[in-house]
Each structure stands twice: as C-alpha cells, then as structure tokens.
Structure 1
Amino acid sequence: MTSSSKVSLSYRDAGVDIDAGDALIDVIKPYAKRTMREGVLAGIGGFGALFEVSKKYKEPVLVAGTDGVGTKLKLAFHLNRHDTVGIDLVAMSVNDILVQGAEPLFFLDYFACGKLNVAAAADVIKGVALGCEQAGCALIGGETAEMPSMYPDGEYDLAGFAVGAVEKSKIIDGSKITPSDVVLGLASSGAHSNGYSLVRKIIEVAQPDLDGDFHGKKLADVLMAPTRIYVKPLLALIESLEVKGMAHITGGGLVENVPRVLGKHLTAILDHSKWVMPPLFTWLQEHGNVADAEMHRVFNCGIGMVVIVSKENAAAALAQLTAAGEQVWQIGEIRARAGDEAQTQVI
C-alpha cells in the first residue's frame, strides 16, 4: 500500500474534539465576564491572565490556595448533576485563603475529562463563575483538558486555585489569640466537600432513595448542597473589629482544623450542645454507625467556619454576622493548655 492510499487520521479520530473545546469557551465566556473586577488586565483567551494588585495595599502580601472537590464528584456523576460542584471548587480555595485575612482576587480552574461533554462541562464552569461572584473574585482563566482513555466515560476531575491579597500588617495568623477568647461557629450548608468517601460508603450500605423526602428536601439535594462561601461577611467583620483567628472546617473536622490557628500553649474547648447538628449528619452517623470521635474528625458537623475574637467583641461579632445572613453560635472558648491535652476538645 502506498502512503497516498492510507487513511488520514485526525485528532478527532484519536478522541479529542477541538471544536467541542471551542464551543465550551464560547458558552462560558459570558459567565466569566460577570466575575470581572478591578485589577483584571487580561482574562480568558490569552496564554496567561494578567492582574494588577490594587494600590490600596501599601504592603500587599499574596496568599494562594489550591484544592479540588474530591469524591463528591462521584456522587455528581451518579446523579448526573454538575451545576453545584463548581461552587464547591471555588469555595474550598477562597475560604482557605480568607482565614489569613486575604481578599480573594482571582481564580483559575482545571477541568480534565476523557471525552468532553460540552453541556456538563458548561454546567460545571457556570458553577465556578457563580462561586467567584459569591467570593468577589474574578475568573480570569483555566484549562480544559480532553484526554482519551484517562478517565471513564462521563467522568471528569476538577482542580483550581485562588490568589488573594492582604495588607502585611493585617495578616491573621492566630498569634494574638489568648485564654478567655471566644470561639464563634458559622453554620455550614451541609457536608461541603469533605468526607464523601465515607458518605458514599454509607449510601452503599443504607441504600436510601436519593430522590425521597429528607426534611422537606430531596436527599440528593441535601447531599449535593454546595459549600458555603464566607468571604464577604467575614471580610466586612475584619474591617469592623479585631478578628484574632479563623479556621475553615474541612477534612479533619473541628478537632484538626482549629488547632492550626492556635499556639501550642492554647486549647479550644467546644461545647457540642451550643449548636444544632443538621439532620444530614445525624442520618450519616446513624446509618453508618459512626462513632462521635470519627464524626468530629471527618465531617464539619454543622460548623463550616470558626472565628475567634475577644470576649469583649463576641456579641458585636455575632450580631454583625447574623445581620449579614450567617447563622452563628458561640460554641466555645480558648483556655491555657495543660500538659499534652488535645488542642481542640469537643465536650
């Protein structure tokens, strides 16, 4: 056979559809445009995105965070629901950089799949844009990678990162926390994006009707509720009073995340009777026969963000956050640590 009679192969024959990728960009551009803010010099479309740090900062310090959505994606695939995981993706990074006092400036995402489903991918990126709007940061770029045979049909992976800025003199690092300070807990919107390997195992064992009623909602809706983004109310709180420390309650729960902002000489004593554990966590504990200690290490158990303030500022902080639409409880206090006791104790 001569070379002229051979079949001419294309990238599409190899499983990559460039036209589909172009179509996705066209779909998501208007949603990304809605997230534009001061500082964006060049966004989606270039080889790199340009962002100018505002001159309102005298000594700006950049704060960066990166994360994914984890195995919550497996539940999204099972339910064929892709409209909320983009919010989760943004939330996991912007909430992380927020705890150091940083204002999120911009976000970039990475979407990888075996075969690009434009409709599903568009739902995901629309969610990313919505999360950026909630956080006040710009979606200025990203990457869509179609890699045949790397992922099962209908599945994809997500990663992203956020960059923020904080005035050097206003970095929140927990160094000002002292005994008698008050611990406030802000309500989560559900399991957020942590513990879903255990959630899926419990579902496998319990075999619930995911479309069935669960306290007035579908169980599927409760399980897929997107991670709450705390950026705007907490940035406003930082401007009005001294916030000594914050902890984003992700993997590791309260017992492993609160110590990350405490000096070795301090411990946080949290009273579980001071907040309401949502029905989802009660259901998971009962159907999985999960021990209390395991619940506190795996799940947020209803508290998505912890804020530590002085006793004198506690009432004002609680009132301001409540007025901003957050559900907040005074859940504990900081004490001097005795010996090698745990740095966070849920009693």
Structure 2
Amino acid sequence: MTDAYREAGVDIAAGAAAVRQFGPLAARTHNEHVLSRLGGFAAAYSLPDVAHPTLLAATDGVGTKVLLAQAAGTVDGLGVDLVAMVANDLLADGAQPQFFLDYMAVGHLEPALATKLVAGIADGCRQAGMALIGGETAEMPDMYEHGHFDLAGFGVGIADQRRLLPQGVAAGDLLVGFPSSGVHANGFSLVRQLLRRTDLGNARLSDGRSMTTALLMPTRIYVSSLLPLVQGGLIHGLAHITGGGWTENVPRMLPATLTASVDPQAWRWPELFQRLQAAGQLDVAEMRRTFNLGMGMVAAIDPVTWPAVVAACPTAVRVGRVVTRGQQAPIVWQEAAHE
C-alpha cells in the first residue's frame, strides 16, 4: 500500500510518534484541575475557587528569535520564551496563569526537534505554574522550508475581578523595575539585521558568553516572584516590557491623566544592550522603543510598600515615579544618561 500523504510531505506516523513523546512532558505540568489527558480533541480544566472570578486570556509567539535559534542549532529555550510571553502578559493584568496550549507549525516534522521544543514549553509551564493541557502540531511542507518552524501559544489565567490591574495607580507612586534575563523575545528582526551587517556576532561579552548565547537566553518568567505581590495588593500597575519597549508598554498601565517619569541613571544597561546600541549606532529613543534595556517588568507601587517589595524581590530597582501628566508625554525621561 502506498502512502500518498507521506509522499505529499506529511508523515502521519511521525506525528503520532511525536505526540507519544509529548505526553510525559505535559503530564509533569498537570495539577488537580486538569480533567483530561493529552490526545483528546479538546482539553478540560476545572478552575480554582476564586471570589468574583474573571478569566483572562492571552496569546503570543516567539517571533524571529526562532530564526536565530535555528541558525545556532539551539532551540531548547524557545519553549520557555513562548510560555513567558503569555504568562507575563496574564500576570501584568493581575491574573494567576492556569493553563497553556501550544501551536507548532513545521515544514517537515522531526520528532526529536519537536520533543525539544515541547520540553522547553513544559519547563516554562512549570516555572509559570501552568498546566500544559494540549496543543497542535501542523506539518505543512509547502508553507515552511525544510527545517523551519514557528511557535505560538495560548494561555488562560484567573483573577478576582476586584484585583485586576491596573488599579489605584496614582501620582506619587514609585516605578519599580524587575531585571530581565536579556533581550527576551522581541526586537529580533533588528538584532538579526545587526548580526548580518556588523561583526557583532563575533564578539564576546565580558563574562565570556558569545553574543548568540546571550541573545538566546530564555525570557524570564515573573509569576513566582510577582504574583504574591499582585495578590497581596502591593502592586497598582504592571507593565510587561515586550514589543514597543519602554515607550509603548509602560504607559499602558497608567490612566490618561498620569505620566511615567523615568530616571535613566537609576540603573545601567546590561552590556548586551550596550553592544547592540554600539553595533547599530542606534539612538537612545530607538533603544527605548525596541528593547527592555535590562528590565522585563515595571510596576507602579505605593512608596510605603517599597520595603516589602524589595524584601520579596531583592533585585528590584526604583526607576522613577508616576506624576501628573499636564502637557507631558505618557512617558518622560528625567535626563538622557546614555546618549
């Protein structure tokens, strides 16, 4: 018997073999709320008992960081990136992440590669306290070149409606930054252009890491460190610094009457960002609207709660204040220390 579908480029047997390998990886993320096992047509999840329950949903991808990881042959961290982009978004709106589903599109399914990617997703889910309850793998040889793939993910969180963020952001609040692990998963179209056009890829950071290793560091997941502060009412607003950098994301947690006044001298950009700026001769405004500059999350808090926040998160940095807007832009910089 001939296998016409396989001859057309889709190997159903390989897909089934890959799914069998995914099962144990997903199972290690499950909790008492997961009601169905991997392999069904849909997944069932029993939500925890929360007063005034509100569901929040988020979806995202890894973007062109995938291409750099493919070229480097290092895809293990991409699954963590995928979960992080979704879980951190849910957290920023005050939700406790609950479950996650992934979508993997490939030109040709290689079970070993797919298993590495799902293992990374499962790792990210464990870090975020999420159950990996399902997903989809699509083999599309006419859509993707051999060896190429893309990742997307979808997650749901739950919150008490009375604790949704932002809530209570006021003039005088402190702005607090929480350090990133690197570039995270945005800005890679620019990063890859710099790697092509300059000798940036041949450089090493002062800690000995290659630029590629530093750029492929998985995105930090902030759920375990910041969720207790969110649920304890210590955070008034939270911004996840992804695409659009500081310029676009910090104002998203502010009412239209308020401005984020940021002190650029409060922290020093990590060396990785300094190297990117120098290689591309990028101006400060470009850096601020493209990268996280070393802070992956920024919170607005009441100044009186600062001791409690820094006790819970010792690496937290005071980076500015919330002020009345007047005629100012939604975010202003007290002085340009990096120009």
Superposed pair shares fold, TM > 0.5: yes
The match for 1:112 is: 105
The match for 1:23 is: 17
TM-aligned CA deviation for residue 58 of structure 1: 2.2
| Residues 241 and 313 in structure 1, CA contact (< 8 A), matched pair in contact too | no
Moved more, 190-199 or 26-35: 26-35
Which residue, out of 322, 328, 337, partners 1:334?
Answer: 322
The amino acid of 1:227's aligned partner reads: T
The match for 2:303 is: 311
The amino acid of 1:116's aligned partner reads: L
The amino acid of 1:335's aligned partner reads: V
2:166 is equivalent to residue 173 of structure 1: yes
Which residue, out of 46, 58, 78, partners 2:40?
Answer: 46
| Residues 184 and 329 in structure 1, CA contact (< 8 A), matched pair in contact too | yes
| Residues 107 and 139 in structure 1, CA contact (< 8 A), matched pair in contact too | yes
- Alignment partners' CA distance in 2, 1:308 and 1:226: 25
The amino acid of 2:96's aligned partner reads: E
Query: Which secondary structure does the structure 1 equivalent of 2:4 belong to?
Result: coil
Unpaired runs of 5+ in structure 2?
A: 335-339
- Alignment partners' CA distance in 2, 1:118 and 1:211: 34
- Alignment partners' CA distance in 2, 1:38 and 1:306: 32
Query: Could you tell me the TM-score, scaled by structure 2's length?
Result: 0.95
- Alignment partners' CA distance in 1, 2:186 and 2:80: 14
Where does structure 1 differ by over 6 angstroms across 4 or more consecutive aligned residues?
none
Cα 1:214/1:161, change in 2 over 3 Å: farther
When the two chains are superposed, the root-mean-square deviation of aligned CA atoms in Å is 1.4
- Rg comparison, structure with higher value: 1
2:125 is equivalent to residue 138 of structure 1: no
| Residues 107 and 140 in structure 1, CA contact (< 8 A), matched pair in contact too | yes
TM-aligned CA deviation for residue 209 of structure 1: 4.3
Unpaired runs of 5+ in structure 1?
A: 1-6
TM-aligned CA deviation for residue 147 of structure 1: 0.8
TM-aligned CA deviation for residue 239 of structure 1: 3.4
| Residues 195 and 201 in structure 2, CA contact (< 8 A), matched pair in contact too | no
TM-aligned CA deviation for residue 328 of structure 1: 1.3
The match for 2:331 is: 344
| Residues 194 and 200 in structure 2, CA contact (< 8 A), matched pair in contact too | no
Cα 1:258/1:213, change in 2 over 3 Å: closer
TM-aligned CA deviation for residue 238 of structure 1: 2.2
- Alignment partners' CA distance in 1, 2:247 and 2:184: 17
The amino acid of 2:316's aligned partner reads: V
Moved more, 20-29 or 65-74: 20-29
- Percent of matched pairs sharing the same residue: 44
Across the two proteins, how many residue pairs are aligned to each other?
334
The match for 1:4 is: none
| Residues 163 and 233 in structure 2, CA contact (< 8 A), matched pair in contact too | no
**C-alpha deviations, 1:158-212, integer Å up to 9, x for none?**
11111000011111224x1111100000001000000000000111111344585
| Residues 190 and 227 in structure 1, CA contact (< 8 A), matched pair in contact too | yes
| Residues 211 and 220 in structure 1, CA contact (< 8 A), matched pair in contact too | no
2:78 is equivalent to residue 73 of structure 1: no
| Residues 255 and 346 in structure 1, CA contact (< 8 A), matched pair in contact too | no
- Alignment partners' CA distance in 1, 2:208 and 2:228: 33
The amino acid of 2:216's aligned partner reads: M
2:161 is equivalent to residue 150 of structure 1: no
Query: Which secondary structure does the structure 2 equivalent of 1:301 belong to?
Result: coil
**C-alpha deviations, 1:131-163, integer Å up to 9, x for none?**
000000000000000011110111001111110
TM-aligned CA deviation for residue 70 of structure 1: 0.4
Query: Could you tell me the TM-score, scaled by structure 1's length?
Result: 0.93
Cα 1:217/1:8, change in 2 over 3 Å: closer
The amino acid of 1:244's aligned partner reads: H
Which residue, out of 242, 256, 261, partners 2:253?
Answer: 261
| Residues 200 and 279 in structure 2, CA contact (< 8 A), matched pair in contact too | no
TM-aligned CA deviation for residue 62 of structure 1: 0.3
Query: Which secondary structure does the structure 2 equivalent of 1:242 belong to?
Result: coil
TM-aligned CA deviation for residue 311 of structure 1: 1.0
TM-aligned CA deviation for residue 78 of structure 1: 0.7
2:30 is equivalent to residue 36 of structure 1: yes
Alignment of 1:112-261 (within 5 A): 112-174=105-167, 176-210=168-202, 212=204, 215-261=207-253
